[in-house]
Chain A
Amino acid sequence: DTGVSQDPRHKITKRGQNVTFRCDPISEHNRLYWYRQTLGQGPEFLTYFQNEAQLEKSRLLSDRFSAERPKGSFSTLEIQRTEQGDSAMYLCASSSNTGDYNSPLHFGNGTRLTVT
Protein backbone atom coordinates (compact mmCIF):
# COMPACT_ATOMS: atom_id res chain seq x y z
CA ASP A 1 0.00 0.00 0.00
CA THR A 2 1.83 3.06 -1.26
CA GLY A 3 -0.92 5.50 -0.34
CA VAL A 4 -2.58 8.19 -2.42
CA SER A 5 -0.11 10.20 -4.45
CA GLN A 6 -0.69 13.71 -5.78
CA ASP A 7 1.40 15.72 -8.18
CA PRO A 8 2.55 18.45 -8.04
CA ARG A 9 2.74 19.35 -4.34
CA HIS A 10 2.74 23.05 -5.10
CA LYS A 11 1.69 25.06 -8.13
CA ILE A 12 1.97 28.80 -8.60
CA THR A 13 0.28 30.20 -11.66
CA LYS A 14 -0.82 33.52 -13.04
CA ARG A 15 -4.47 34.41 -13.28
CA GLY A 16 -5.96 33.21 -16.53
CA GLN A 17 -3.62 30.25 -17.00
CA ASN A 18 -4.75 26.63 -17.06
CA VAL A 19 -3.49 24.10 -14.54
CA THR A 20 -3.77 20.33 -14.27
CA PHE A 21 -3.27 18.17 -11.20
CA ARG A 22 -2.82 14.42 -11.06
CA CYS A 23 -3.89 11.89 -8.45
CA ASP A 24 -2.88 8.25 -8.20
CA PRO A 25 -5.17 6.42 -5.76
CA ILE A 26 -4.45 3.32 -3.75
CA SER A 27 -4.38 0.63 -6.41
CA GLU A 28 -7.25 -1.56 -5.23
CA HIS A 29 -9.59 1.35 -4.52
CA ASN A 30 -12.47 1.81 -6.93
CA ARG A 31 -13.57 5.24 -5.75
CA LEU A 32 -11.67 8.47 -6.18
CA TYR A 33 -12.66 11.85 -4.74
CA TRP A 34 -11.53 15.43 -5.23
CA TYR A 35 -11.91 17.94 -2.43
CA ARG A 36 -10.87 21.56 -2.02
CA GLN A 37 -9.70 23.02 1.27
CA THR A 38 -9.15 26.69 1.98
CA LEU A 39 -7.40 28.06 5.03
CA GLY A 40 -9.32 27.42 8.23
CA GLN A 41 -12.04 25.39 6.54
CA GLY A 42 -12.91 21.75 6.24
CA PRO A 43 -12.54 19.91 2.94
CA GLU A 44 -15.30 20.77 0.46
CA PHE A 45 -16.46 18.08 -1.93
CA LEU A 46 -15.86 18.70 -5.63
CA THR A 47 -16.48 15.42 -7.43
CA TYR A 48 -16.05 11.67 -7.24
CA PHE A 49 -15.60 8.69 -9.53
CA GLN A 50 -16.49 5.06 -9.19
CA ASN A 51 -14.04 3.35 -11.50
CA GLU A 52 -14.08 5.55 -14.62
CA ALA A 53 -17.60 6.93 -14.13
CA GLN A 54 -17.99 10.40 -12.65
CA LEU A 55 -20.97 9.93 -10.35
CA GLU A 56 -21.42 13.29 -8.70
CA LYS A 57 -20.26 16.87 -9.12
CA SER A 58 -20.63 19.67 -6.61
CA ARG A 59 -22.12 23.02 -7.52
CA LEU A 60 -18.71 24.38 -6.50
CA LEU A 61 -17.37 22.80 -9.67
CA SER A 62 -17.89 25.56 -12.23
CA ASP A 63 -17.54 24.95 -15.94
CA ARG A 64 -13.88 25.98 -15.66
CA PHE A 65 -13.22 22.77 -13.72
CA SER A 66 -13.08 19.35 -15.29
CA ALA A 67 -12.03 16.01 -13.88
CA GLU A 68 -11.31 12.74 -15.60
CA ARG A 69 -10.45 9.20 -14.66
CA PRO A 70 -10.04 7.63 -18.09
CA LYS A 71 -9.11 4.07 -17.17
CA GLY A 72 -10.44 3.92 -13.67
CA SER A 73 -6.97 4.34 -12.22
CA PHE A 74 -5.35 7.78 -11.94
CA SER A 75 -7.37 10.98 -12.20
CA THR A 76 -6.69 14.51 -13.40
CA LEU A 77 -8.32 17.74 -12.29
CA GLU A 78 -8.00 20.67 -14.69
CA ILE A 79 -8.82 24.27 -13.93
CA GLN A 80 -9.10 26.57 -16.92
CA ARG A 81 -8.69 30.35 -16.81
CA THR A 82 -7.66 30.29 -13.16
CA GLU A 83 -8.89 33.01 -10.83
CA GLN A 84 -7.44 34.16 -7.52
CA GLY A 85 -10.38 32.56 -5.75
CA ASP A 86 -9.19 29.17 -6.98
CA SER A 87 -6.20 29.41 -4.63
CA ALA A 88 -6.60 26.48 -2.23
CA MET A 89 -5.33 23.03 -1.34
CA TYR A 90 -6.76 20.42 -3.71
CA LEU A 91 -7.07 17.07 -2.01
CA CYS A 92 -7.52 13.70 -3.61
CA ALA A 93 -8.82 10.70 -1.69
CA SER A 94 -9.67 7.14 -2.54
CA SER A 95 -11.78 4.44 -0.97
CA SER A 96 -13.02 0.94 -1.57
CA ASN A 97 -16.77 0.54 -1.77
CA THR A 98 -18.35 -2.84 -2.38
CA GLY A 99 -21.89 -3.76 -1.53
CA ASP A 100 -22.99 -1.61 1.37
CA TYR A 101 -19.58 -1.28 2.91
CA ASN A 102 -18.46 2.33 3.10
CA SER A 103 -14.74 2.39 3.71
CA PRO A 104 -13.05 5.57 4.95
CA LEU A 105 -11.36 8.00 2.62
CA HIS A 106 -7.59 7.82 2.38
CA PHE A 107 -6.17 11.21 1.49
CA GLY A 108 -3.10 12.28 -0.39
CA ASN A 109 -0.88 15.16 0.68
CA GLY A 110 -2.70 17.56 -1.61
CA THR A 111 -1.68 20.07 -4.27
CA ARG A 112 -1.45 23.63 -3.04
CA LEU A 113 -2.47 26.05 -5.78
CA THR A 114 -1.59 29.73 -5.61
CA VAL A 115 -3.02 32.01 -8.29
CA THR A 116 -1.27 35.36 -8.52
Chain B
Amino acid sequence: AQKVTQAQTEISVVEKEDVTLDCVYETRDTTYYLFWYKQPPSGELVFLIRRNSFDEQNEISGRYSWNFQKSTSSFNFTITASQVVDSAVYFCALGNYGQNFVFGPGTRLSVLP
Protein backbone atom coordinates (compact mmCIF):
# COMPACT_ATOMS: atom_id res chain seq x y z
CA ALA B 1 0.00 0.00 0.00
CA GLN B 2 1.14 3.53 -0.70
CA LYS B 3 1.00 6.23 1.93
CA VAL B 4 2.07 9.86 2.26
CA THR B 5 2.56 11.57 5.60
CA GLN B 6 2.81 15.29 6.15
CA ALA B 7 3.31 15.64 9.87
CA GLN B 8 3.00 19.42 9.94
CA THR B 9 -0.67 20.34 9.91
CA GLU B 10 -0.15 24.11 10.03
CA ILE B 11 2.88 26.38 9.89
CA SER B 12 3.01 30.13 10.39
CA VAL B 13 6.01 32.23 9.45
CA VAL B 14 6.70 35.90 9.04
CA GLU B 15 7.41 37.18 5.57
CA LYS B 16 11.00 36.67 4.37
CA GLU B 17 11.57 33.72 6.65
CA ASP B 18 12.57 30.38 5.13
CA VAL B 19 10.22 27.46 5.71
CA THR B 20 10.49 23.72 5.06
CA LEU B 21 7.50 21.47 4.54
CA ASP B 22 8.08 17.81 5.31
CA CYS B 23 6.87 14.82 3.34
CA VAL B 24 7.48 11.16 4.13
CA TYR B 25 6.20 8.42 1.86
CA GLU B 26 5.78 4.66 1.91
CA THR B 27 5.78 2.41 -1.11
CA ARG B 28 6.99 -1.05 -2.07
CA ASP B 29 7.50 -0.04 -5.67
CA THR B 30 10.98 0.57 -7.02
CA THR B 31 9.74 3.00 -9.65
CA TYR B 32 7.53 5.79 -8.45
CA TYR B 33 6.99 9.52 -8.74
CA LEU B 34 6.67 12.22 -6.12
CA PHE B 35 4.83 15.49 -6.55
CA TRP B 36 4.12 18.70 -4.73
CA TYR B 37 0.92 20.65 -5.31
CA LYS B 38 -0.19 24.04 -4.02
CA GLN B 39 -3.81 24.81 -3.20
CA PRO B 40 -4.29 28.55 -2.70
CA PRO B 41 -7.46 29.98 -1.13
CA SER B 42 -9.06 30.01 -4.58
CA GLY B 43 -9.12 26.21 -4.36
CA GLU B 44 -7.48 24.95 -7.55
CA LEU B 45 -4.65 22.49 -7.10
CA VAL B 46 -1.54 23.74 -8.86
CA PHE B 47 1.27 21.40 -9.86
CA LEU B 48 4.70 22.50 -8.59
CA ILE B 49 7.17 19.68 -9.20
CA ARG B 50 7.50 16.03 -10.22
CA ARG B 51 10.44 13.84 -9.28
CA ASN B 52 10.98 10.19 -10.22
CA SER B 53 12.52 7.64 -7.91
CA PHE B 54 15.71 7.32 -9.95
CA ASP B 55 16.57 10.98 -9.76
CA GLU B 56 17.73 12.03 -6.32
CA GLN B 57 19.24 15.25 -7.50
CA ASN B 58 17.83 18.17 -5.58
CA GLU B 59 16.10 20.85 -7.55
CA ILE B 60 15.86 24.60 -7.19
CA SER B 61 13.34 26.79 -8.95
CA GLY B 62 13.51 30.40 -7.90
CA ARG B 63 12.62 30.57 -4.22
CA TYR B 64 11.51 26.92 -4.19
CA SER B 65 13.78 23.95 -3.60
CA TRP B 66 13.18 20.27 -3.08
CA ASN B 67 15.26 17.72 -1.19
CA PHE B 68 14.62 14.10 -2.18
CA GLN B 69 16.26 11.45 0.04
CA LYS B 70 15.42 7.86 -0.79
CA SER B 71 17.26 6.57 2.28
CA THR B 72 14.73 8.28 4.55
CA SER B 73 11.79 8.16 2.10
CA SER B 74 11.44 11.90 2.30
CA PHE B 75 10.73 14.61 -0.25
CA ASN B 76 10.88 17.94 1.56
CA PHE B 77 10.01 21.32 0.12
CA THR B 78 11.69 24.57 1.14
CA ILE B 79 10.50 28.08 0.38
CA THR B 80 13.21 30.69 0.77
CA ALA B 81 12.34 34.27 1.69
CA SER B 82 8.64 33.46 1.99
CA GLN B 83 6.02 35.89 0.73
CA VAL B 84 2.38 36.42 1.65
CA VAL B 85 1.38 34.96 -1.74
CA ASP B 86 2.91 31.66 -0.65
CA SER B 87 0.08 31.24 1.85
CA ALA B 88 -1.75 28.08 0.80
CA VAL B 89 -2.18 24.42 1.58
CA TYR B 90 0.63 22.31 0.16
CA PHE B 91 0.15 18.65 -0.70
CA CYS B 92 2.76 16.01 -1.30
CA ALA B 93 1.65 13.12 -3.54
CA LEU B 94 2.97 9.73 -4.59
CA GLY B 95 2.19 8.06 -7.89
CA ASN B 96 3.22 5.13 -10.01
CA TYR B 97 2.56 4.32 -13.63
CA GLY B 98 -0.51 2.15 -13.74
CA GLN B 99 -1.79 3.22 -10.34
CA ASN B 100 -3.62 6.10 -8.84
CA PHE B 101 -2.00 9.03 -7.08
CA VAL B 102 -2.04 9.14 -3.27
CA PHE B 103 -2.04 12.52 -1.56
CA GLY B 104 -0.90 13.46 1.90
CA PRO B 105 -3.20 15.36 4.28
CA GLY B 106 -1.56 18.68 3.44
CA THR B 107 0.27 21.41 5.34
CA ARG B 108 -1.40 24.80 5.69
CA LEU B 109 1.21 27.54 5.39
CA SER B 110 0.41 31.03 6.58
CA VAL B 111 2.90 33.75 5.74
CA LEU B 112 2.27 36.82 7.83
CA PRO B 113 3.26 40.30 6.65
State the A residues within 8 Å of B (CB): 33, 35, 40-45, 48, 56, 58, 89, 91, 93, 97, 100-110
A42 x B91 contact (CB < 8 A): yes
Q: Within 8 Å of chain A (Cβ to Cβ): is B19?
A: no
Assuming the A-B contacts A102-B52, A102-B95, A104-B35, are A89 and B43 also in contact, with contact meaning beta carbons closer than 8 angstroms in the complex? Answer: yes
A107 x B31 contact (CB < 8 A): no
Query: What per-residue 1/0 map shows which CB atoms of B94-113 lie under 8 Å from chain A?
Result: 01110111111110000000
Question: Which A residues lie within 8 Å of B106 (CB)?
Answer: 40-42
B43 x A45 contact (CB < 8 A): no
Q: Within 8 Å of chain A (Cβ to Cβ): is B64?
A: no
Question: Which A residues lie within 8 Å of B104 (CB)?
Answer: 42
B44 x A109 contact (CB < 8 A): yes
A41 x B105 contact (CB < 8 A): yes
Question: Which B residues lie within 8 Å of A42 (CB)?
Answer: 4, 91, 103-106
Question: Which A residues lie within 8 Å of B35 (CB)?
Answer: 104-105
18 example contacts (A-B, Cβ-Cβ < 8 A) are as follows A35-B103, A40-B106, A41-B105, A42-B4, A42-B106, A43-B45, A56-B99, A56-B100, A91-B45, A93-B45, A101-B97, A102-B52, A102-B95, A104-B35, A104-B50, A105-B35, A107-B44, A110-B43
Bound Cα distance from A100 to B97, whole angstroms: 6
Q: Quick one: which of B43, B102, B103 contacts A109, CB cutoff 8 A?
A: B43
